[in-house]
Amino acid sequence: MSVGLQRLRDDAPAIRQGAIDKGEDPSIVDAALAADVRRRELLAEGDRLKAERNTASKSIGEAIRAGADANGPETAALKARSTEAGERIAAIDAELATVEATVDDLLLRIPNPADLDVPIGGEEANVTIREWGAQLPRIQPLSGEVGADALPDAPSWERRAHWDVAAGLGIFDLERGAKIAGSGFPVYRGLGSALQRALISWFLDVHTRENGFTEIWPPAVVNAASARGTGQIPDKEDQMYVVGRDDLYLVPTAEVPVTNLHRDEIFEATELPVRYAAYSPCFRREAGAAGKDTRGILRVHQFDKVEMVLFERPEASAAALEWMTGRAEDLLQRLGLAYRVLLMATREMGFTQGRKYDIEVWAPGVERWLEVSSCSNFRDYQARRMAVRYRPEPGGRPELVHTLNGSGLALPRVVAAIIETFQNPDGSVVVPDVLQPYLGRAELRPPG
């Protein structure tokens, strides 16, 4: 935490501006700085008194060993000196404890400044930096060319939304999901369930066999220290499901348990980078999002995701973010889904990120771009909270690592895009080539 203070002292204007750019309160920076001044005053005085007490206590021990009476008058004088120092130490430590709690709390509320080249602003300031694939129209001719070449009066068909197609196929059961758990807890059945497994397996297979990730299967709950480490507490606390009785949090993403794997640890430089790929269910309360995307599976309280998590040397993290984003894009290309990559503007980023790319797939049935991946470089922000360090040189001083993570990929919207992109006029859906071995079939059709 105090490495953060160091940066705060050295670079307060940039941190302040970073908070403003992200739409956060910059006055917290000054409050933290002021509290830090008081903290150091108390620390200096407390340390001085502790040194005094230590020497006094030590001389008591020496006197006794030299033959003095442990309860005699000469030791009593020494004890009085030590006791007096002890009382003042107690008072100072008490104030120090409250001041440090204040500093820690304030530090947790100062956001990570965005990289200097990140556009400043809200959604309108996001920059599309890449697009891939054809953005299919909702209405298209039954045969022949798609697009401008199509004849105006030719017979056409209309793509349906994924929930309509899924209803025909019998692969979702949203109503019964609502009955047994609540709205936003989808049930997948039959080939819908198999499609979930297929996607998870294929994603993990690509990451582990081709991309060099180590697979992790994490717990679905974490403790408060882990939630704080990755920044869910205090920033996004109300987005998490809490198991109050046991003081546990349902994970909103595998990022939380997997990044915390190395909390309070020191890597050797030769161990980096560390690359993990982890499947987990993800639980999100989506508080404040009521009424948005209520149809289908575009916004749900529980979904499945494969997450990529990297621990990197600072000088390598920028390139690692590009690489990791590329790994997520590769999955979409091999599925045959059109997508675009956005560099997110400052107010569209989270509290903890230095740079973030969102990847959105085109869903031609609902005619919308759907976010399926978010790839971020946290630089040393999470590492500081979690005390994850590495030794640049053997035997050298530890320094903070950089952490990154990105979805690779989140399932529901990929499923929606697959259904809407590869649906046929008769209601069947073609299975992408890469998934056919996992599903054991080339298309989804209604049973019977």
Residues known to be catalytic: 284, 299, 371, 374, 413
Structure tokens, 346: 């400052």
Asked if 64 interacts with RNA (CB under 7 A), we say: yes
| Shortest Å distance, C-beta 384 to RNA | 9
| Residues, the chain | 448
**Reduced to 3 states, what is the DSSP secondary structure of residue 120?**
coil
Residue selected from 20, 31, 43, 167 as contacting RNA according to rule CB under 7 A: 43
CA distances (Å), 193 to each of 32, 170, 328, 336, in order?
50, 11, 22, 21
Among 25, 27, 30, 40, indicate the residue that binds RNA (CB under 7 A). 40
**Scanning the structure block, which residue is given the tokens 């390598």?**
316
Q: How far is the CB of 215 from RNA (least distance, A)?
A: 21
Residue 448 to residue 445: CA distance in whole angstroms: 9
3 is a contact residue toward RNA (CB under 7 A): yes
Task: Output the DSSP codes for 175-218.
Answer: HHHHHHT-TT---B-THHHHHHHHHHHHHHHHHHHTS-PEEE--
Q: What is the DSSP string of 58-84?
A: HHHHHHHHTT--TTSHHHHHHHHHHHH
Return the sign of the alpha-carbon dihedral for residues 28, 34, 36, 42.
negative
Asked if 48 touches RNA (CB under 7 A), the answer is yes
Query: Judged by CB under 7 A, does residue 331 bind RNA?
Result: no
Cβ atoms within 10 Å, residue 11: 12
Map residues 71-90 to x or -, x wherever contact with RNA holds by CB under 7 A: -------xx--xx--x----
Considering only 25, 27, 70, 271, the residue that binds RNA (CB under 7 A) is 70
CB of 381 to RNA, least distance (A): 15
Q: Is 56 in the site for RNA (CB under 7 A)?
A: yes
For RNA, which is the closer residue by CB, 82 or 374?
82
User: Cβ of residue 43: shortest distance to RNA, in angstroms?
Assistant: 5
Binds RNA (CB under 7 A): choice among 14, 31, 38, 57: 57
For RNA (CB under 7 A), the number of binding residues is 35
Contacts of 42 (CB under 8 A, 6+ apart): 92, 95, 96, 99
Q: Which of residues 348-407 bind RNA (CB under 7 A)?
A: 389, 394-395, 397-398
176 binds RNA (CB under 7 A): no
Under the binding rule (CB under 7 A), the answer on residue 51 touching RNA is yes
Contacts to RNA from residues 93-122, by CB under 7 A? 97
Within 260-299, the residues that bind RNA by CB under 7 A are 266
Nearer CB in complex with RNA: 355/384: 384
Q: Say which residue the tokens 């919207």 belong to.
A: 413
First to last CA, the chain: 61
Q: In 3D, which of 355, 247, 244, 232 has the Cα closest to residue 284?
A: 232
If one asks whether residue 5 binds RNA (CB under 7 A), the answer comes out as: yes
Contact flag: residue 239 with RNA (CB under 7 A): no
Asked if 278 contacts 260 with a C-beta cutoff of 8 angstroms, the reply is no
Q: How far is the CB of 3 from RNA (least distance, A)?
A: 5
Residue 54 contacts RNA per CB under 7 A: yes
Shortest separation between residue 372's beta carbon and RNA, angstroms: 32
Q: What is the dihedral of CA 393, 394, 400, 406, to 10 degrees?
A: 90
Among 11, 30, 47, 158, binds RNA (CB under 7 A): 47
User: By the criterion CB under 7 A, which residues form the site for RNA?
Assistant: 2-3, 5-6, 40, 43-44, 46-48, 50-51, 53-58, 60-61, 64-65, 70, 78-79, 82-83, 86, 97, 266, 389, 394-395, 397-398
